């Protein structure tokens, strides 16, 4: 079965690279030096997270998170 998970790529402005967070799987976080490496590491981290859940007899979450954006006025 193939599943899709939303990931958040956060650029590391000081060190370079990206941190990747998988909101639907709390604690599933990884990183990579490039966007491509970060996404490959995310696939590996998600797979490992789901395998750990299965070993514990837990089912993966049924849904994913919803992503949107919010605009605000900022006075600086």
From residue 56, how far is each of 1, 3, 45 by CA, in Å? 19, 20, 17
Q: What is the structure's pLDDT at 16?
A: 94
Q: What is the pLDDT of residues 17-62, one digit of tens each?
A: 999 999 999 999 999 999 999 999 999 999 999 999 999 999 988 8
From residue 10, how far is each of 17, 25, 76 by CA, in Å? 9, 17, 24
Tally Cβ neighbours within 10 Å of residue 64: 14
Q: Widest CA span of the chain, in angstroms?
A: 51
Q: What is the structure's pLDDT at 19?
A: 97
């Amino acid at each position: 079965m193939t599943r899709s998970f939303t990931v958040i790529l956060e650029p590391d402005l000081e060190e370079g690279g990206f941190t990747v967070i998988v909101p639907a799987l709390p604690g599933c976080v990884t990183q990579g030096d490039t966007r491509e490496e970060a996404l490959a590491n995310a696939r590996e981290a998600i797979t490992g997270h789901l395998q750990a859940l299965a070993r514990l007899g837990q089912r993966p979450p049924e849904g994913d998170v919803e992503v949107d954006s919010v605009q605000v006025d900022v006075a600086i």
